[in-house]
């Protein structure tokens, strides 16, 4: 039996729920509340004019935020984690580490908002981004130089579900560019299925709006790091710009994290059935849970599951538009990670900010449909999807 000073590491589903403050890092609660208290205050009274307490102003720190950040650091295998007000804020904070005339290497299949921010940095901060095919680890080598500061990965990518070899790319970057940082957007997988810091990455970030909260009633972002010096720089920016997540939103985020495992288990089980269904009807399906996915084995080595987002092609843009609008259970929305199932056309919605010529250059099909599978009964989801497929004529075309 372990003594009280020994930290027992449980399986991921347990770690999501179990809140452990035995290391003394978490905020103190004299009343032992089962749910963390919400310190809904802007300021904290001090004992004197010369000695400040642990907290003074909620922009700089708040016990509720500290509580969720400590928990997030634990489940993400990080030294420190930070909660901010959106996923894009999380990326913005990270890109503040890049100086003018330095460079970023990123994938050629990225979330539209990420692409927009990188374009802004190029225009306003003279930060050049090289977009490469991150499915080929060696493709990064020609672009690495003393100017390289960040290597930004999505895996799986959004929306084509391409897989990057995090360990191999991290190895290459750290060997050739010691000052460069490998950054992974892990929103699609969540810490339950994949922990990039354990695979060699330096920084990982999430849109907490997605799986971490799970109900689409919260805007949040998370940044986690494994180096104290980088963590100090991240905190400085968060404090200086005032983007730390508010107390009530921190409470919502913590509540969502505790149910992540049960939600994700159900959602990805349903996603697997839907991917099989679409593939059986001759649609081209992008989903790392299918053995026909070109990087199925690589993804399985890095992750504990394929997730609950997939995309497929109908072969015709107009048919895709009709199909999306004919669904009833699948809500038309740009986001994912919700308990409700969502459907979208990325090139018309979440990735519309990427110019059409650039989308074509990056081989993003205009007819692509993205499905984000929720927790509804999968038979109802399949029936609704089948109705939309047949009524739109997409099923006939595929067969």
Looking up residue 244, the CATH number of its domain turns out to be: 3.40.640.10
Same domain, 180 and 273: no
Report pLDDT for 3: 34
Based on the domain organization, do 284 and 246 belong to the same domain?
Answer: no
Q: For residue 2, what pLDDT is reported?
A: 34
Note whether 81 and 47 are same-domain residues: yes
365 within a domain of the structure (yes/no): yes
**Closest to 290 in 3D by CA, of 276, 278, 300, 269:** 276
Q: Is residue 80 part of a domain?
A: yes
Whether 4 maps to a domain, the answer reads no
**One domain, residues 361 and 319:** yes
Residue positions annotated with a catalytic role = 59, 111, 185, 210
Same domain, 129 and 71: yes
Strands 181-185 and 148-154, bridge-based pairing: parallel
Using the CB atoms, write b or e for 176-193: b if 16+ within 10 Å: ebeebbbbbbbbbbbbbb
Q: In a structure prediction context, what are the per-residue pLDDT tens digits for the chain, which is 399 residues long?
A: 333 345 678 999 999 999 977 666 678 888 889 899 999 999 999 989 888 889 999 999 999 999 999 999 999 999 999 999 999 999 999 999 999 999 999 999 888 889 999 999 999 999 999 999 999 999 999 999 999 999 999 999 989 999 999 999 999 999 999 999 999 999 999 999 999 999 999 999 999 999 999 999 999 999 999 999 999 999 999 999 999 999 999 999 999 999 999 999 999 999 999 999 999 999 999 999 999 999 999 999 999 999 999 999 999 999 999 999 999 999 998 889 999 999 999 878 767 777 777 777 767 889 999 999 999 999 999 999 999 999 999 987 666
Choose the final residue of a domain: 207, 227, 258.
Answer: 258
Q: Which pair of structure tokens corresponds to residue 21?
A: 């403050």
Final residue belonging to a domain, choices 258, 288, 306? 258
Is the residue at 143 inside a domain? yes
- How many structural domains does the chain have? 2
Residue 250 and residue 103 share a domain: yes
CATH number at residue 380: 3.90.1150.10
Do residues 155 and 73 both lie within one domain? Answer: yes
> How far is Cα 248 from Cα 350, in angstroms, rounded to an integer?
28
Residues 320 and 240 in one domain: no
Give the per-residue pLDDT at 349.
72
Helix H or strand E encompassing 260: helix 260-280
Domain boundary residue, one of 258, 289, 304: 258
Residues 254 and 283 in one domain: no
Say if 2 falls within a structural domain: no
Check whether residue 193 and residue 285 sit in a common domain: no
Q: Which residues contact 134 (CB under 8 A, 6 or more apart)?
A: 107, 108, 140, 153, 154, 155, 157, 162, 164, 169
**What is the domain range of residue 128?**
12-258
pLDDT attached to residue 396: 77
On whether both 250 and 270 belong to a single domain, the answer is: no
Burial of 43 (0-12, 13-18, 19+ CB in 10 A): exposed
The answer to whether residue 150 sits within a structural domain is yes
- Asked, for residue 3, whether it belongs to a domain, the answer is no
Same domain, 349 and 250: no
The answer to whether position 334 is within a domain reads: yes
């Amino acid at each position: 039996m372990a003594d009280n000073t020994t930290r027992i590491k449980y399986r991921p589903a347990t770690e999501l729920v179990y809140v452990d403050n035995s290391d003394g890092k978490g905020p103190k609660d004299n009343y032992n509340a089962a749910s963390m208290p919400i310190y809904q205050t802007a300021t904290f009274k001090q004992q004197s004019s010369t000695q400040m307490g642990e907290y003074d102003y909620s922009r700089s720190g708040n016990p509720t935020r500290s509580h969720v950040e400590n928990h997030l650091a634990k489940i993400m295998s990080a030294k420190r984690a930070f909660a901010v007000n959106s996923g894009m804020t999380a990326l913005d904070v990270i890109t503040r580490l890049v100086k003018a005339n330095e460079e970023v290497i990123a994938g050629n299949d990225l979330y539209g908002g990420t692409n927009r921010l990188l374009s802004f940095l190029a225009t306003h901060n003279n930060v050049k981004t090289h977009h490469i095919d991150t499915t080929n680890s060696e493709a990064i080598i020609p672009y690495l130089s003393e100017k390289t500061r960040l290597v930004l990965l999505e895996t799986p990518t959004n929306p084509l579900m391409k897989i990057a070899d995090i360990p191999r790319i991290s190895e290459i970057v750290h060997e050739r560019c010691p000052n460069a940082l490998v950054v992974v957007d892990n929103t699609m997988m969540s810490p339950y299925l994949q922990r990039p810091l354990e695979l060699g990455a330096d920084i990982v970030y999430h849109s907490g709006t997605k799986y971490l909260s799970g109900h689409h009633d919260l805007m949040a972002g998370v940044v986690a790091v494994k180096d104290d010096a980088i963590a100090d720089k991240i905190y400085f920016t968060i404090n200086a710009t005032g983007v730390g997540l508010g107390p009530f939103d921190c409470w919502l985020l913590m509540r969502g994290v505790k149910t992540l495992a049960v939600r994700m288990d159900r959602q990805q089980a349903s996603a697997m059935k839907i991917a099989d269904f679409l593939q059986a009807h001759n649609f081209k399906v992008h989903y790392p849970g299918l053995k026909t996915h070109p990087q199925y084995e690589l993804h399985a080595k890095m992750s504990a599951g394929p997730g609950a987002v997939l995309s497929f092609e109908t072969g015709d843009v107009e048919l895709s538009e009709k199909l999306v609008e004919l669904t009833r259970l699948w809500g038309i929305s740009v986001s994912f990670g919700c308990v409700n199932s969502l459907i979208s056309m990325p090139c018309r919605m979440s990735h519309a900010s990427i110019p059409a010529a650039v989308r074509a250059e990056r081989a993003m099909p205009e007819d692509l449909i993205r499905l984000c599978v929720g927790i509804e009964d999968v038979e109802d989801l399949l029936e609704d999807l089948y109705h939309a497929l047949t009524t739109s004529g997409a099923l006939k075309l595929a067969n």
